Amino acid sequence: MGVLMKQEAVTVLLVGNVVRSEQKAGEFNDREDATRLVKYDFILARVLTPEFDIVFVRFPSDGSIPLPLPDELVTLRCGVRASFGTLRVDVEAVLVGSPVTT
């Protein structure tokens, strides 16, 4: 994770099924400037990979990237960046099916 912390963001492909999702919205005071209010609004989704790992990803709440059906195997193109000591995974595009590997 140390290498990722030095970079702006990386793009990854994540294969799996979106098995659960929920709307997250709210606001909080900025850590560096207490007078600044930070608002957030996104859909937090759980992706179950073929290896049975769960990965949490964020979809935009405006519906610009629709949520796949739970029984649909998809490849998600995601931007990953460091955020508050953890990784933030934002969905950039949904591709149906899994990528072909050789």
pLDDT in tens, 20-48: 999 999 998 888 888 899 898 999 999 99
> What share of the chain in percent tops pLDDT 70?
87
- Residue 51 in any domain: the answer is yes
Contacts for 18 with CB less than 8 Å, ≥ 6 apart: 45, 46, 47, 67, 68, 69, 70, 72, 74
* Residue 62, domain extent: 2-96
- In this structure, of 43-52, 56-65, 81-90, the range with the lowest mean pLDDT score is 81-90
Q: What is the CATH number of the domain that holds 14?
A: 2.40.50
What is the structure's pLDDT at 6? Answer: 55
- Residue 79 in any domain: the answer is yes
What is the structure's pLDDT at 102? Answer: 44
